[in-house]
Chain A
Amino acid sequence: MDLTPSPGLVKRSLAAHGWLGLLVGALMYIVCLTGTLSVFYPEFERWEQPQVRESLDYDPVVLERAFNDFLAQESLRTEHMYLNLPTEEIPRASVSNQQRGWFVREDGSLGDEVEHEWTHFIINTHLYLTLPETFGIVLVSSLGAMLVGLIVSGLLAHPRLFRDAFHLRLRGNGRLAQTDIHNRLSVWGAPFHLLIAITGAYFGLVTPVLGVVAELTGRDAQTIVSSVFGEEPEVKETGEIRLAAALAELSARAPAANPFAVTVHGAGTERQFLEIHASHPGRMIYSENYRYDSAGNYLGKAGFSDGEVGKQIVYSMYYLHFGHFGGFAVKLIYFVLGLTLTVVSVTGINIWLSKRKHRDALNDIWAGIVWGVPVALSASATSQIAFGFVSPVLFWSVLAMCVAWSLRRREPARARQDLIAVWAGLVGLLLTTHLVRFGVDALGPAARTINTALLLQLGLLVCLLRRRRTDRSDPSAVAAPERQERFEPRASPELEKTEARA
């Protein structure tokens, strides 16, 4: 049976792939880049406040006292109150309401206010594109659904995608190189890209889809959500939280579970109960949620670890999407593969631009966006570290300025060089500001990872800047006719023809 798609199907798939890619390309690029950075959000949080004292040795009784003191402050009380327990990833304890948080010192007193505004900005940009949350998350998740369409159309549009899996021609930055980079990264990253697309689409579409199902089946939407995420337990004991007793009970009940956070629901009301979130070794679920009343009596668990398969799948989405399991190595894998998806987004548009065989303002705008986003992110990080100020307005303004500069230059290759120079300057400024503001803490364990990465990034940017500025670095340039391939038997004439036709 011949499963090769017909030339007509290939042509139509290519057209559909191009259309869908153009529809979502620019937004996909921003979402992918910020998502790739979000993999390291615990490291970014620690880097933003490296002066906070870190420890894994907290006495549960001290934490209980700190949490109760915090809960007792009526002015700070919200429906849900949180206690983050120190973990290997973030060895800091903190208490927070639904708006603000404070670190807890080892003696139980409250320390600095939690201020991870840049990290939150990155995450919010990834989740909502800085739009209002309800609309933003649906839009971003829709990009996930479109990514599924792009992956499928990409596979059908390139019948030789797997056969040419090692065919990478990096000749300058012309269309051939862009096409090869796009196709090779797509094919090797396809399983991961599909995983990210499906899990990413889930987060924003779960609520509207459940709402529609509720309407269609005549059921209450809240009942449907509760059936998946669990219902509130009946509570008899209220008053001060006996956290140490609850943690001790959990330790006896589930010795393998690692508690990392506590949520108090209905804080200060008669419905008050606490939920201890604990990860389970070797399990993809974000947590199993163990419920206790205020006196530390066990009320039950949500059932994400051993309940229905559906519940386990839902609670595995977070780790699957963000790669926060298996330690730093897994984060690195997610980071690298996230970058490949980012590059695929960019090269896809580059290919479309170069197919037009001429340059115009669209080339300038695209160069401004591609190189302007890292500039805008670096500017917002520098602003946060220097002035404690970060805002979507700042990010979009800097990006708009980069696009305007690129339009003014009328030469994407030169605009790219300019923007890389600005990016490098901002990274240098960011490192210096961090060092000046935090002194020796900037070299400590909390900030070391990110500052080393920034230093590497600076080196890479300097290398890029030192490369000769030539027209070849413009993706809209057309590669001259090919010379003989290195691997003659694999010189893929169909591929060459398809590319030449395109």
Chain B
Amino acid sequence: MFAMTAWLLGASAVACTVAALVLLYRSWSRTLSGSRATVLTAWTLLLVASACWVALGGWEFGTIYAITVPSVAALPLLWLVADRRTGRVVATPRRRLSKPSWTGIAKHLRTFLLVVVLGILASTLITSAVGLLLPFGEINQLVFIVCVMPTVWGLIAFWLAMDADRRRPVLSLVALSAISLVAILIR
């Protein structure tokens, strides 16, 4: 009986996911703005599929199934609808490998050092300050810090690599790090 229920839940979840993706695709391919009702139905089906996954595997496994199954199910659909018309391809000319300029190397090295050194320091200090100030138990504070710090570092790396005016992120991060350090030391 249990196996039958599990099978039904799994099959329903897969069916809802596939139907939702097909609806999303049809809405995408027909009009520029997409049919609102179709899109709404598709998202509702994805929610139903998520509920089925959670009922099948509990909320921990179910959430992962709900996140990953649509990603996998979309791949064959993408393959099926791909545009495979052969296009003329122009071969690109071959050149000798040009020597990088010292200014270019220095620029990239500077960005690299900022991303790695300043990025690690700032993300660790900011996350530690926020984590230690949160009204959590000690273990939860520590886990918050170790789990969130890499994400913050990644975002800082993006900011440092993106901003045209490098002084802005550098000064902001140095200031934030200093405030965080003070907050940690006086807590």
The size bracket of the interface on A is 35 or more
**Contact between B161 and A19, CB atoms less than 8 A apart:** yes
A residues 19-38 touching B (CB-CB < 8 Å): 19-20, 23
Task: Please tell me if the beta carbons of A284 and B82 are within 8 angstroms of each other in the complex.
Answer: no
A300 at interface, CB cutoff 8 A: no
Which of A51-59, A308-316, A425-433 lies on the face that meets chain B? A308-316
Contact partners of B28 in chain A: CB under 8 A: 163, 165-166, 490
- In the complex, the answer to whether A310 meets B158 with C-beta atoms within 8 Å is no
A454 at the interface (CB under 8 A from B): no
Closest to B83 in A: A169
Contact digits for A136-177, partner B, Cβ 8 Å, 1 yes 0 no: 000001101111111111000000000101101111101010
Q: A195-B67, A325-B61 are in contact. Are A172 and B78 (CB under 8 A)?
A: no
The answer to the question of B5 belonging to the interface, with a C-beta cut-off of 8 Å to chain A, is no
A3 at the interface (CB under 8 A from B): no
CA distance A476 to B137 in the complex (A): 54
Of B25, B61, B143, the contact of A314 (CB 8 Å cutoff): B143
Please determine whether A201 and B89 come into contact, CB atoms closer than 8 angstroms.
no
> Of the candidates B32, B68, B97, which one forms a contact with A490 in the assembled complex, judged by CB atoms under 8 Å apart?
B32
Q: Which residues of A contact B156 (CB under 8 A)?
A: 149
How does the 8 Å CB contact mask read for B63-103 relative to A, with 1 for contact and 0 for none?
A: 01101111110110111011111111111111111100000
Q: Determine whether the beta carbon of A283 is less than 8 Å from that of B60.
A: yes
Per-residue B-contact encoding for A323-347, CB less than 8 Å = 1, 0 else: 0011000100110110010000000
Nearest neighbor of B84 in chain A, beta-carbon distance:
A170
B124 within 8 A of A: yes
A476→B89 CA distance, assembly (Å): 10
A149, B78: Cβ atoms closer than 8 Å: no
Q: Is B4 an interface residue (CB 8 A)?
A: no
A148 contact set on B, CB distance < 8 A: 150-151, 153-155
Segment touching B, from A71-79, A359-367, A369-377: A359-367
**Given known A188-B74, A216-B128, A336-B72, contact A198–B157 (CB-CB < 8 A):** no
Chain B 130-187 residues near chain A, CB threshold 8 A: 132, 136-147, 149-151, 153-158, 161-164, 181, 184-185
Bound together, the chains give a CA A212 to CA B31 distance in angstroms of: 54
Query: Are B85 and A12 within 8 A (Cβ)?
Result: no
Contact of B35 with A by CB under 8 A = no
Contact (Cβ within 8 A) A166 B161: no
Q: What per-residue 1/0 map shows which CB atoms of A469-502 lie under 8 Å from chain B?
A: 0111010111110110111011000000000000
A494 and B77 alpha carbons, distance in the complex (Å):
24
Is A146's CB under 8 angstroms from B157's CB? Answer: yes
Q: Check: A202 CB closer than 8 A to any chain B CB.
A: yes
Binds B, one of A124-132, A203-211, A262-270, A458-466: A203-211
Question: Do B149 and A205 touch (CB < 8 A)?
Answer: yes
Choose among B97, B128, B154 the residue that contacts A197 (Cβ–Cβ < 8 A).
B154
List chain B residues, Cβ under 8 A from A184.
78
**Are A209 and B145 interface neighbours, CB within 8 A?**
yes
| A-chain residues with CB within 8 Å of residue B185 when the two chains form the complex | 216
* Residue pair B157, A20 in contact (C-beta under 8 Å): yes
A282 contacts partner chain B, Cβ-Cβ < 8 Å:
yes
B68 near A476 with CB under 8 A, answer: no
| 10 nearest CB pairs, A to B | A148-B154, A201-B150, A310-B143, A480-B88, A16-B162, A16-B161, A171-B87, A149-B154, A282-B58, A149-B158
Which B residues are within 8 Å of any A CB, using their own CB? Answer: 24-25, 28-32, 57-58, 60-61, 64-65, 67-72, 74-75, 77-79, 81-98, 108, 111-112, 115-116, 123-124, 128, 132, 136-147, 149-151, 153-158, 161-164, 181, 184-185
Chain A positions within 8 Å of B, measured between CB atoms, are 12-13, 15-16, 19-20, 23, 141-142, 144-153, 163, 165-166, 168-172, 174, 176, 184, 188-189, 191-192, 195, 197-198, 201-202, 205-206, 209-210, 212-213, 216-217, 224, 227-228, 282-284, 308-311, 313-314, 316, 320, 325-326, 330, 333-334, 336-337, 340, 354, 357-362, 410, 470-472, 474, 476-480, 482-483, 485-487, 489-490
What are 28 A-B residue pairs whose CB atoms fall within 8 Å in the complex?
A: A13-B162, A15-B162, A19-B111, A20-B115, A147-B154, A149-B157, A150-B158, A152-B158, A166-B29, A168-B78, A171-B86, A172-B86, A176-B87, A184-B78, A188-B75, A201-B153, A209-B146, A216-B184, A228-B139, A282-B60, A283-B58, A310-B137, A311-B143, A333-B68, A337-B68, A478-B92, A480-B89, A485-B83
